[in-house]
């Protein structure tokens, strides 16, 4: 029998389909909007809202009311849809990039220029800057008493994958030295060789994310033109071996013009290796929209709520069959849940 999808999960999927919310009295928001240098909302301002029975959603701030049917009424703590009260919701504070976590981007420069990724573009006008280990530990200390439950690190690749992994290892070690084992550490590196994964594990990272991006090899070749599809999958599989099952995860983007079955095949292949996918709605960030549409012949499209729900439902079945448990993740996106419909958390 088909499982009933909770109304609040449907509402979250609708919000994610549009991806934006307008806040009228923005200065009255209890917490500052988040401005990220990595992830789907790179270069954009966004807020996190918790509503219903614990759903968390991250939404980009719309500049005008006409860009979205959704408004957040700060005074009444209410999400409105087309001007009508819809769901009571509270803004949740983003510590560093997301609630409860310090998720830091060590290097916003990247030589690979994947077509969907805005990270390298926001840095083109400033000189190269890499977060030093002590800068990271200082930043973590600043939010440590605000309900911090984990740390996560991501990075672009400025010089070489080995150099960026070495730097990430230095940061992981510095965090361990400063905070002991109290904070779980997740890493989202770019890796090309097995030794990169071994280095991060030996440095003390607990969880790892190596992204599939697109499971369709042709689309991957277009959007990640400088990367190697087969080697990337090999790295993901190896990461699960080294970190252990249930400690490796990976983004698969929905909306790059792939077939529906390709998403399901990707989620299933990962699950077979003990890796849990984050099925991530494409953000047509204005910084990358033109280059992405040109590369994909206008096939890029933010997925509909129905698409998101159908993939999440299918993914939930896959995870059950493979006995994989999303709720065991302590860091990164499977812990946060703000950008995706996450099986076992949202439905
Ligand atoms: S390798 Fe990662 S950071 Fe670099 S362009 Fe691609 S997605 Fe962005
Ligand atoms: S789901 Fe991931 S990318 Fe989205 S806000 Fe949370 S940690 Fe960042």
Alpha-carbon distances of 246 from 221, 240, 272, rounded to whole Å: 28, 8, 11
**Nearest ligand (C-alpha, residue 287):** 1
And the tokens for 77? 């703590």
**Nearest ligand (C-alpha, residue 97):** 2
Residues 301 and 252 in one domain: yes
Q: Which of 59, 92, 125 is the last residue of a domain?
A: 92
And the tokens for 220? 């991957």
**Number of domains composing the chain:** 2
Residues 38 and 185 in one domain: no
- Give per-residue pLDDT as tens, 33-57: 988 777 667 778 999 999 998 999 9
How many angstroms separate the alpha carbon of residue 131 from the centre of ligand 1?
A: 17
CB of 120 closer than 6 angstroms to any ligand 1 atom: yes
Q: Which of 60, 92, 124 is the last residue of a domain?
A: 92
Tens digits of pLDDT across the chain (347 residues):
557 899 999 999 999 999 999 998 899 999 999 887 776 677 789 999 999 989 999 999 999 999 999 999 999 999 999 999 999 999 999 999 999 999 999 998 999 999 999 887 775 545 567 999 999 999 999 999 999 999 999 999 999 999 999 999 999 999 999 999 989 999 999 999 999 999 999 999 999 999 999 999 999 999 999 999 999 999 999 999 999 978 999 999 999 999 999 999 999 999 999 999 999 999 998 889 999 999 999 999 999 999 999 999 999 999 999 999 999 999 999 999 999 999 999 99
How many angstroms separate the alpha carbon of residue 343 from the centre of ligand 2?
A: 15
Q: Which of 66, 92, 118 is the last residue of a domain?
A: 92
In a domain, 115, yes or no: yes
Integer Cα distance of 198 and 179 in angstroms: 22
Shortest-distance Cα residue to atom 6 of ligand 1: 114
- Give per-residue pLDDT as tens, 87-136: 999 999 999 999 999 999 999 899 999 999 988 777 554 556 799 999 99
**Nearest ligand (C-alpha, residue 335):** 2
Contact 328, 319 (CB under 8 A): no
Residues 86 and 119 in one domain: no
> Which residue's structure tokens are 């030589």?
111
The model's pTM: 0.95
Residues 180 and 317 in one domain: yes
β-pairing, 20-23 vs 55-61, is: parallel
Atom of ligand 1 nearest to the CA of 154: 3
Shortest-distance Cα residue to atom 4 of ligand 2: 339
Q: Name the residue range of residue 13's domain.
A: 7-92
């Amino acid at each position: 029998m088909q499982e009933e999808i909770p109304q609040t999960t449907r509402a979250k999927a609708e919000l994610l389909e549009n991806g934006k919310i307008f806040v009228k009295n923005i200065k009255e928001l209890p917490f500052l909007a988040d401005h990220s240098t990595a992830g789907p909302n790179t270069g954009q301002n966004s807020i996190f809202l918790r509503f219903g029975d614990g759903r968390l959603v991250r939404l980009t701030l719309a500049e005008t009311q006409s860009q979205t049917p959704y408004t957040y009424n700060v005074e009444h703590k209410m999400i409105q849809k087309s001007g009508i009260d819809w769901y009571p919701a509270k803004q949740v504070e983003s510590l560093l990039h997301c609630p409860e976590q310090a998720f830091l981007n060590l290097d916003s420069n990247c030589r690979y220029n994947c077509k969907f990724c805005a990270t390298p573009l926001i840095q083109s006008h400033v000189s190269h800057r890499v977060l030093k280990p002590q800068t990271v530990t200082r930043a973590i200390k600043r939010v440590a008493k605000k309900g911090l439950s984990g740390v996560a690190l991501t990075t672009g690749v400025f010089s070489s994958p080995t150099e960026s992994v070495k730097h990430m290892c230095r940061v992981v070690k510095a965090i361990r030295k400063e905070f002991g084992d109290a904070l779980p550490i997740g890493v989202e590196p770019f890796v090309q060789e097995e030794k990169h994964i071994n280095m991060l594990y030996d440095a003390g990272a607990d969880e790892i994310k190596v992204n599939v991006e697109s499971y369709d090899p042709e689309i991957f070749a277009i959007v990640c033109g400088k990367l190697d599809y087969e080697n990337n999958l090999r790295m993901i599989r190896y990461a699960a071996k080294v970190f252990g099952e249930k400690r490796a995860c990976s983004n698969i983007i929905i909306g790059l013009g792939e077939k529906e079955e390709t998403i399901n095949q990707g989620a299933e292949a990962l699950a077979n290796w003990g890796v849990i996918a984050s099925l991530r709605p494409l953000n047509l960030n204005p910084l990358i929209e033109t280059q992405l549409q040109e590369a994909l012949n206008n096939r890029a499209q933010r997925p509909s709520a129905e698409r998101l729900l159908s993939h999440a439902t299918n993914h939930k079945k896959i995870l059950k069959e493979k006995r994989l448990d999303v709720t065991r993740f302590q860091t990164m996106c499977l812990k946060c849940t703000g950008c995706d419909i996450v099986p076992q958390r949202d439905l």
